[in-house]
Amino acid sequence: MCVPADDQNPMKTIVRVLGLLAACVGGTLAPVVSAEVDPLEVPYAEVTYDGDETLRDFVARHLNDPDLWPTVLQINKLTSPGDLAPGAVLQMPVAQVAAADAALSEALQAIQKATSEGARLFAPQEIGAAIADREAAIGARGEGAWRKVVRFAGSATGHATEAFEIALAQRDRAAEALITDIHGRVEGREPAEAAWSDRDLNDVLIEFEKVRTLTNSTTQVTFRDLSRLRLNPNSNATIQRMRSDPLTGKEVTKVSLANGDFYALLNQLSDRDSFEIDVPGLQTTTDSDDFWIKKDADKALFVNYDSAPLDIEAETSKVSLGQDEGVVITEDGVATRAKVLEWPLLSAPMDREDVYGAGVRLEWQAYPEASGYWFEVAGDPAFNQMIATEWGVKDLGFDVAGLAPGAHYWRVAALDGLGLPGKWSEVRRFEMRQDSTPPFLTLLSPTDGVLVEAPDVKVLGASEAGVTLTMNGMAVEVAADGSFEATLALTPGANQIVLVATDPAGNVSEKRGQLRYVPRVATTMTLNPDMARDDAGQLVSRNAEMTVVAATSAKPGQEVILRDAVGTEAGRTRIAAGGVLAITVPVAQEPRAFSVEVLSEGGVSTGTLAFDVVRDSAAPELVLDVPPPRATTDKAIDLTGTLGDAVTLELNGAKQDIFDGSFAMQAALTEGLNLLELRAVDAAGNVGVLVIETLLDLTPPEILDAGLSRPQGEDGPVEIVVTAQDVSGLRQAAPYLVEVGDEEFEGYLRCDSARGICRASLPPTPGEMRLIEVVVQDYAGNEVIR
């Protein structure tokens, strides 16, 4: 943004800037600023943070400077970017930043204008104050002190304007030469002085004054026409003659180099007649504007970088160097010419790269024919303000320390085998920055303390673009928006996540997290084989609930969920010692389906066991195919029948075999009454009992009396009466044969077993009565004949 400056009132300039601001920031600045309003008192613009970009990118988009994000946090009373949520409305100093940047831009233009007119030579104090004030303004900008920015920038503009006016007035002053740059210690000695004394910046040099640089020191001498000589370390030169013709304005300058080297860059726009260099034993005149000379103990070295010739005359020979040519002349006049080397390629830092801290590593590519390298670091692109220089560097890099914040420029030349410097490389700029704010860093996932069952985990987070990020010491790539994603391999047990973000300034932020990795192992489960089951394989119970027991491979303490047929949770328990699972399950008359699910420590299923349960409260029914005899003469009887859903059967405590719900067995008898108890138990534990009584009778009945009689007289019916007894009882019919008179009668007596009497009645028949035979049987089948 270029706005005409008001030298008397910088605030008016800012007001004009703010008048154009709405168009520049896309309408972000809500208030309308009038000329009567102090622009620095304009309310902050309210901007909604949508969360789609990092805070740095958000600030860069609205304020044109991502490094102002700490200031935005401070304005909005936030301690870190992590406190910022999408949708938050931020107070943004849009107008204030625009006003500050406009003032800084105006100051820079004024400084550049004054410098172009020679202010560094003719008004060094004024231009120095302008630069210092602008640097102070830049510092205040980083602190968000917008009024201080405007005040310092306005002061810089005023000093620069004053320097410009002084330079214009002094351009025609009859000054001889000035020391316009000093790096290290520089000494001088005027013709009237007996000893060397220190020289300071902006000291005036007169004819026949000697100047020398000490180790690691350089200086620049600027002549009235702005031609420059750069004396490198350990160099000694004399300003022998500086003359000008007031009528024609033409100048003659002669410099004597006793030892060391200097680099000359003459003003191509001047009307000087000649520039002579006097090296002991050699006379040099040149129209060249760009050359380098070095005087050693036994030789002199010359390089001409300009198209105009550099003429060197010895006692016996004369050499004229063309563009990019060099020569080494020994004390005996032997000259060795060479084409100087081309420029080497620079590696790092890249052009306009930001370098943080107080030092920089300069690196360049190898030049095949180089025997060494010469580099320079300056505070300006013309290398008038030398900061560091090193001759004869053997490596392809050099660490330069002690640099101040601000712009720096550097270049490198390759040295050939003769010691002649080649062409300068391209000039690169780097910006030294001081940044003590740790970079933004947050760990989004996994959450601290989480339990993980997979062998690796995705680590997600966000930082700032350009940081170097490591996770547990391993490099992690950071995307352009500051986000990052990495996979962390886990070991069983506790695992640490240590994220370290280092910004280009070396500031470090660290985030730590911890998680526990428990490998997920499938759980095997087997129902206790002793649990009651029915024929369909269902678990059965005669009660309204039962305890289901299973052996598992799970660890004690793992949680178990009981679920019904539709998956609804019906209960919970934990694995007991030895991996035993025991859980109470409700039981109904109708079969119900359940399952138990063992959970890992992370709450994920590791195994499921399904089963059905049913309630059975009815005892099994024992049914004999044939009722056993009340009495028998067999010493064993057969018992067959069915026993319902019984799973075990006992006879008088002895286990019996079951065949598909039926049984068949022989029961041994002992003489007398035998009690046989059949006991059947089903899977639910219900018991059915059948008691059988049978008599083993091996003794026939005993007839106590047998006889015939006519109880009603001779004409009455004949009565047959037999009295008998038996333990098993008498059968109801007993066959008989009797004779009455001339007739025989046979038939069956009806026996009353309870009374032990068998009787029958014959019709009245005259004659004698005789019992021929009667057979009495008991229920066991024994009989007695009489």
Q: Quote the pLDDT of residue 175.
A: 45
Cβ neighbour number for residue 197 with a 10 Å cutoff: 10
* Residue 306, pLDDT above cutoff 60: yes
Cβ neighbour number for residue 492 with a 10 Å cutoff: 10
Rounded Cα–Cα distance for residues 638 and 641 (Å): 10
Helix (H) or strand (E) holding 264: strand 251-265
CATH of domain 525-615: 2.60.40.10
Residue type, 448: D
% of the chain beyond a pLDDT of 90: 53
Closest CA to 255 of 271, 267, 237: 237
Rounded Cα–Cα distance for residues 285 and 241 (Å): 14
Residue type, 60: A
Q: Quote the pLDDT of residue 213.
A: 92
Phi/psi at 280 (nearest 5 deg)?
-50, 120
* Residue 438, pLDDT above cutoff 50: yes
**DSSP one-letter string for 456-501:** EEEEEEE--TT-EEEETTEEE---TTSEEEEEEE--SEEEEEEEEE
**Model confidence over 377-390: pLDDT tens digits?**
999 998 888 899 99
Tokens of 667: 């029961």
In sequence order, the 6+-apart residues with CB closer than 8 A to the CB of 471 are 459, 486, 488, 497, 498, 499
The conformation of residue 41, written as its DSSP 8-state character, comes to G
Instruction: For domain 623-696, give the fold.
Output: Immunoglobulin-like (2.60.40)
**Model confidence over 226-237: pLDDT tens digits?**
778 888 899 898
Cβ neighbour number for residue 121 with a 10 Å cutoff: 23
* Residue 147, pLDDT above cutoff 50: yes
Q: Quote the pLDDT of residue 588.
A: 92
Q: How would residue 267 be classed by pLDDT, with cut points 50, 70 and 90?
A: low
Q: Quote the pLDDT of residue 373.
A: 96
Q: What's the full length of the chain, in residues?
A: 786
**Model confidence over 546-598: pLDDT tens digits?**
999 999 999 999 999 999 999 999 999 999 999 999 999 999 999 999 999 99
The more confident residue out of 705 and 248 is: 705
Q: What is the mean pLDDT of residues 4-33?
A: 41
Residue type, 80: S
The conformation of residue 602, written as its DSSP 8-state character, comes to T
* Residue 256, pLDDT above cutoff 70: yes
**Model confidence over 450-462: pLDDT tens digits?**
989 899 999 999 9
**Model confidence over 682-736: pLDDT tens digits?**
888 899 999 999 999 999 999 999 999 999 988 899 999 999 999 888 999 999 9
Phi/psi at 126 (nearest 5 deg)?
-65, -45
The burial of 735, by beta-carbon neighbours within 10 Å (0-12 exposed, 13-18 middle, 19 or more buried), is given as middle
Mean of all residue pLDDT scores within the chain: 87
* Residue 347, pLDDT above cutoff 90: yes
Helix (H) or strand (E) holding 48: strand 45-48
Q: How far is CA 390 from CA 11, 365, 377, 382, 412, in A?
A: 46, 17, 9, 18, 10
Domain 442-517 of CATH type 2.60.40.10:
yes
Q: How would residue 54 be classed by pLDDT, with cut points 50, 70 and 90?
A: confident
**Beta strands 209-213 and 186-189, pairing class:** antiparallel
Tokens of 744: 């025989």
Q: Quote the pLDDT of residue 727.
A: 87
How would you write 534-583 as a 3-class SS string?
CCCCCEEECCCEEEEEEEECCCCCCEEEEEECCCCEEEEEECCHHHEEEE
Q: Quote the pLDDT of residue 171.
A: 52
Using DSSP's 3-state secondary structure scheme, residue 168 falls into helix
Tokens of 123: 């008004």
Rounded Cα–Cα distance for residues 482 and 442 (Å): 10
Q: Quote the pLDDT of residue 522.
A: 92
Q: Quote the pLDDT of residue 237.
A: 87
Q: Quote the pLDDT of residue 251.
A: 63
Q: What is the mean pLDDT of residues 275-284?
A: 80
Rounded Cα–Cα distance for residues 705 and 736 (Å): 14
Rounded Cα–Cα distance for residues 505 and 482 (Å): 17
Rounded Cα–Cα distance for residues 450 and 459 (Å): 12
- Give me Rg for the CA atoms of the chain: 62
Q: Quote the pLDDT of residue 246.
A: 44
Rounded Cα–Cα distance for residues 588 and 286 (Å): 119
Specify the residue for token string 């910006």: 431
Using DSSP's 3-state secondary structure scheme, residue 132 falls into helix
Cβ neighbour number for residue 42 with a 10 Å cutoff: 21
**Model confidence over 386-434: pLDDT tens digits?**
899 999 999 999 999 999 999 999 999 999 999 999 999 999 999 998 8
Region of 119 please: left (phi>0), alpha (psi -120 to 50) or beta.
alpha
The burial of 535, by beta-carbon neighbours within 10 Å (0-12 exposed, 13-18 middle, 19 or more buried), is given as exposed
Q: Quote the pLDDT of residue 250.
A: 58
Rounded Cα–Cα distance for residues 548 and 614 (Å): 12
Domains of the chain, by residue range, sit at 10-44+93-170, 177-339, 346-433, 442-517, 525-615, 623-696, 702-785
CA angle 70/73/76 to nearest 5° reads: 150
Residue type, 635: K
Residue type, 186: V
Cβ neighbour number for residue 295 with a 10 Å cutoff: 24
Instruction: For domain 177-339, give the fold.
Output: Jelly Rolls (2.60.120)
Q: How would residue 243 be classed by pLDDT, with cut points 50, 70 and 90?
A: low
Whether residue 506 contacts residue 495, with contact meaning beta carbons closer than 8 Å, is answered with no
**Beta strands 282-286 and 290-295, pairing class:** unpaired
The model's pTM is 0.46
User: What is the assigned CATH class of domain 346-433?
Assistant: mainly beta
Phi/psi at 47 (nearest 5 deg)?
-130, 135
Q: Quote the pLDDT of residue 64.
A: 86
Cβ neighbour number for residue 482 with a 10 Å cutoff: 25
Phi/psi at 554 (nearest 5 deg)?
-75, 165
CATH topology identical between 525-615 and 702-785 = yes
* Residue 149, pLDDT above cutoff 50: yes
Whether residue 681 contacts residue 647, with contact meaning beta carbons closer than 8 Å, is answered with yes
Q: Quote the pLDDT of residue 706.
A: 92
In sequence order, the 6+-apart residues with CB closer than 8 A to the CB of 712 are none
Rounded Cα–Cα distance for residues 161 and 607 (Å): 85
Closest CA to 331 of 261, 257, 281: 281
Tokens of 36: 């009567």
Helix (H) or strand (E) holding 106: helix 94-116
Q: How would residue 269 be classed by pLDDT, with cut points 50, 70 and 90?
A: very low
**Model confidence over 184-227: pLDDT tens digits?**
899 999 888 889 999 998 888 888 889 999 988 989 888 766 77
The more confident residue out of 351 and 177 is: 351
Rounded Cα–Cα distance for residues 613 and 594 (Å): 8
CATH of domain 702-785: 2.60.40.10
The burial of 2, by beta-carbon neighbours within 10 Å (0-12 exposed, 13-18 middle, 19 or more buried), is given as exposed
Helix, strand, coil % in the chain, rounded to nearest 5: 15, 45, 40
Whether residue 302 contacts residue 291, with contact meaning beta carbons closer than 8 Å, is answered with yes
Tokens of 526: 């087997």
191 preceded by a cis bond (ω within 30 of 0): no
